[in-house]
Amino acid sequence: MRQFNGRLTSLLISLTLGSSLFPAVTCFAAQGSAPVVAHSSDPWWKHAVFYEIYPRSFADSNGDGIGDLNGITAHLDYLHDLGVDAIWLTPCYPSPQIDFGYDISDYCNIDPVYGTLADFDKLIAEAKKRNIRIVMDFVINHTSDKHPWFVASRSSKTDPKRDWYVWRDGKEANKPPNNWQSIFGHSAWDLDSRTGQYYYHFFYPQQPDLNWRNPEVRKAMFDVTRFWMDRGVAGFRLDAVGCLFEDQNLQDNPIKPGTNAFGDPNMESKYNDRLEEVHDVLRELRQVIDSYAGDRVLIGETSTSNVKELSRMYGAKLDEIQLPMNFFFAYLNKLSAADFRRLISEWDKNPAQGWPLYFFSNHDQVRHYVRYGDKTNNDAIAKVTATLFLTLRGTPLMYYGEELGMENNDPKRVEDVYDPIGKIGWPKEKGRDGERTPMQWTAADFAGFSTIKPWLTAPASFASHNVTVEEAQPDSILNFYKKLIQLRRTEPLRSGSYEPINTSDQNVVAYLRKGDAGTVMVAINMSGQEQLFKPDLPGKKFSAHESRVLLRSGQPVKPDDNDDAVRLAPFSVHICSLP
């Protein structure tokens, strides 16, 4: 899951909808434009723009300082105008909120802080009117320790639910069964005084791991997916899929040099992460999903260290996760043309030939506006990164507010931290509050998110980077995203091939998107210097006057007067169609 942007270098390596409600062949353009007809054979999710919403921080409808479902429903028109096709909703189930919803105490309800099941049904219905699908977050590795399953499980060694979780005797008195560490710090085992045994938790102690080797657990969890699919959800984002299984013999993990931000020895999660049996579960889950009409989708939080391994998450017969999340962009903290070109080429040609999904930011990563920004040209750079992932062959996944240039607002004092890892790891690890601040709707108090002081505070830049201000500025990041999303709905940007050009250029990432409808060239200047970019096209010469500019950013200082070249301003993009 999280690469804590250099604060922790490599914590966890693998964590980790066309329902019948929607016609499969229509792709929806943003308001005011004609719908684009997709290839009828393509599932909807291949061409959808996904948008992650952290419900606690998107919009507060009832003035308690916490975002909620009705707040999201109230802003669906905004999402529709932006061009969003599907929302990934991070957990809004009942939860003690230790890990802000990733500790679920009831899989088939909504936490009162976010609303009710009726509010959820309304969200689905209102979203459907705007051709927006909802994907739920499905936390399958663990439950809350307050879930009735775990309450029963810990009650006695003979309880029928005992085997639903991972219980073991200690090695010896007061010694956990082995050396495994929680990704959130310290031993992954907690001694439960009631029965004198230890239970296993890959994450917080309040998040005990389910035992996926127990068939009753599988059935119960698959029933949960049916509950939500019957309510009309278009699929699931699977949380932490890599760590569903642990080595039965509990072998110690290899220790690596150094210590992490929690002061624990660095460790390779060899025996409690990415075990082979994960694939059996994924295949079964996929069958459940596929038993419903409408191309429901599985997105996976599948972060691994290499392409071959990630590619396996599609399944040998493309029968597991349709959209494994490629974290390579999320882990890259440098605006490097060579690195991006390599990562894209590797993933575009992944061995499984699965459909790529690209994203930069999420609720566990420092926002990419900060990661790539140089503090002077951040807005221009935000357009550069937007262009990259919205013009590639693959499905883009946005994180709320990136379309505004939202930045992190990390806590300055440990007393202000909400995310427990920020308390455990302070000051090396400040936690994830910084990337979860309220959506910036207006320049008014609390960024227009709430009428009272919200649970987290928006960064000061909300005054200039908010929906109201940016909607009125033709050159804003928001309006650039809207134009790009419109453009990516047209062929060949929508489904054409990806062909890199000028592959030794150290400053400009450039590629062609080719299809029956023609060829589009995308050139992205990732450097702070103006570039005279001479496209090296296979088999023909580039002529600027014969190309048609579709979208560009930045204004070069020197005149654009070379017909065989394009002049690119620092941190700028140029998208044109070729004859």
Residues at the contact surface with ligand NOJ, assessed by CB under 6 A: 1, 15, 99, 102, 139, 203, 239-240, 301, 363-364
Contact call for residue 66 and Ca ion (CB under 5 A): yes
Question: Choosing among Ca ion, ligand NOJ, none, which partner's interface includes residue 15 (Cβ < 5 to 8 Å by kind)?
Answer: ligand NOJ
3-state helix, strand, coil in the chain (%, to 5): 30, 20, 55
Contact call for residue 429 and Ca ion (CB under 5 A): no
Question: Choosing among ligand NOJ, Ca ion, none, which partner's interface includes residue 1 (Cβ < 5 to 8 Å by kind)?
Answer: ligand NOJ
Among the residue ranges 58-66, 236-244, 290-298, 389-397, the one whose residues contact Ca ion (CB under 5 A):
58-66
Write the DSSP symbol of residue 457.
Answer: -
Question: Choosing among Ca ion, ligand NOJ, none, which partner's interface includes residue 309 (Cβ < 5 to 8 Å by kind)?
Answer: none
Q: Rounded CA gap, 194 and 146, in Å?
A: 15
Write the DSSP symbol of residue 261.
Answer: T
Least separation in angstroms between residue 512's CB and ligand NOJ is 35
Q: Within 10 Å of residue 251's Cβ, how many Cβ atoms?
A: 14
Identity of residue 500: P
H runs (alpha helix) in 156-273: 215-230
Least separation in angstroms between residue 86's CB and Ca ion is 23
Only one residue has tokens 């599948």, namely 302
Question: Choosing among ligand NOJ, Ca ion, none, which partner's interface includes residue 261 (Cβ < 5 to 8 Å by kind)?
Answer: none
- Cβ distance to Ca ion smaller for residue 64 or 106: 64
Q: Single out the catalytic residue among 301, 402, 419, 470.
A: 301
Q: Of 315, 334, 335, which Cα lies nearest the Cα of 324? A: 315
Only one residue has tokens 């890199």, namely 500
Beta bridge partners of 190: 199
The residue with its CB nearest to ligand NOJ is: 102
Check if the beta carbon of residue 358 is closer than 8 Å to that of residue 460.
Answer: no
Mark residues 12-51: x for contact with Ca ion by CB under 5 A, - for none: ----------------------------------------
Contact call for residue 64 and Ca ion (CB under 5 A): yes
Question: Choosing among ligand NOJ, Ca ion, none, which partner's interface includes residue 62 (Cβ < 5 to 8 Å by kind)?
Answer: Ca ion
Contact call for residue 60 and Ca ion (CB under 5 A): yes
Question: Choosing among Ca ion, ligand NOJ, none, which partner's interface includes residue 348 (Cβ < 5 to 8 Å by kind)?
Answer: none
Contact call for residue 506 and Ca ion (CB under 5 A): no
Least separation in angstroms between residue 203's CB and ligand NOJ is 5
Contact call for residue 453 and Ca ion (CB under 5 A): no
Beta bridge partners of 552: 574
Question: Choosing among Ca ion, ligand NOJ, none, which partner's interface includes residue 364 (Cβ < 5 to 8 Å by kind)?
Answer: ligand NOJ
Check if the beta carbon of residue 111 is closer than 8 Å to that of residue 92.
Answer: yes
- Cβ distance to Ca ion smaller for residue 68 or 137: 68
Least separation in angstroms between residue 60's CB and Ca ion is 4
- Cβ distance to Ca ion smaller for residue 343 or 458: 458
Question: Choosing among Ca ion, ligand NOJ, none, which partner's interface includes residue 66 (Cβ < 5 to 8 Å by kind)?
Answer: Ca ion
What does DSSP say about strands 133-139 and 235-239: parallel, antiparallel, or unpaired? parallel
Among the residue ranges 65-73, 518-526, 539-547, 569-577, the one whose residues contact Ca ion (CB under 5 A):
65-73
Least separation in angstroms between residue 262's CB and Ca ion is 32
Least separation in angstroms between residue 421's CB and ligand NOJ is 8
**DSSP letter string, 1-55:** ----TTSSS-S-SS-----TTS-TTEE-PPTTSPPEEPPTTS-GGGSPPEEEE-G
Residue 272 CA to chain centroid, in angstroms? 23
Q: What is the CA radius of gyration of the chain?
A: 24
**Coil, helix or strand for 569?**
coil
Q: Within 10 Å of residue 541's Cβ, how many Cβ atoms?
A: 11
Considering only 9, 20, 31, 62, the residue that binds Ca ion (CB under 5 A) is: 62
Least separation in angstroms between residue 467's CB and Ca ion is 19
Least separation in angstroms between residue 139's CB and Ca ion is 22
Q: Rounded CA gap, 111 and 133, in Å?
A: 21
Contact call for residue 116 and Ca ion (CB under 5 A): no
For residue 16 the two structure tokens come to 């980790």
Q: Single out the catalytic residue among 85, 209, 239, 364.
A: 239
Beta bridge partners of 576: 521, 549
- Cβ distance to ligand NOJ smaller for residue 73 or 207: 207
Residues 6+ apart with CB under 8 A from 413: none
Q: Rounded CA gap, 495 and 516, in Å?
A: 10
- Cβ distance to Ca ion smaller for residue 71 or 492: 71
- Cβ distance to ligand NOJ smaller for residue 16 or 450: 16
Residues across the chain: 579
Check if the beta carbon of residue 522 is closer than 8 Å to that of residue 498.
Answer: no
Question: Choosing among ligand NOJ, Ca ion, none, which partner's interface includes residue 68 (Cβ < 5 to 8 Å by kind)?
Answer: Ca ion
Is-catalytic flag, 301? Answer: yes
Q: Rounded CA gap, 164 and 141, in Å?
A: 11
Question: Choosing among ligand NOJ, Ca ion, none, which partner's interface includes residue 190 (Cβ < 5 to 8 Å by kind)?
Answer: none
Q: Rounded CA gap, 24 and 474, in Å?
A: 34
Beta bridge partners of 52: 88, 399
Q: Rounded CA gap, 240 and 145, in Å?
A: 17
Only one residue has tokens 């908010």, namely 466
Least separation in angstroms between residue 139's CB and ligand NOJ is 5
- Cβ distance to ligand NOJ smaller for residue 99 or 407: 99
- Cβ distance to Ca ion smaller for residue 101 or 425: 101
Is-catalytic flag, 277? Answer: no
**Coil, helix or strand for 404?**
helix
- Cβ distance to ligand NOJ smaller for residue 243 or 573: 243
- Cβ distance to ligand NOJ smaller for residue 90 or 153: 90
Least separation in angstroms between residue 1's CB and ligand NOJ is 5
Considering only 68, 295, 410, 429, the residue that binds Ca ion (CB under 5 A) is: 68
Residues that bind Ca ion (CB under 5 A): 60, 62, 64, 66, 68
**Residues with catalytic annotation?**
239, 301
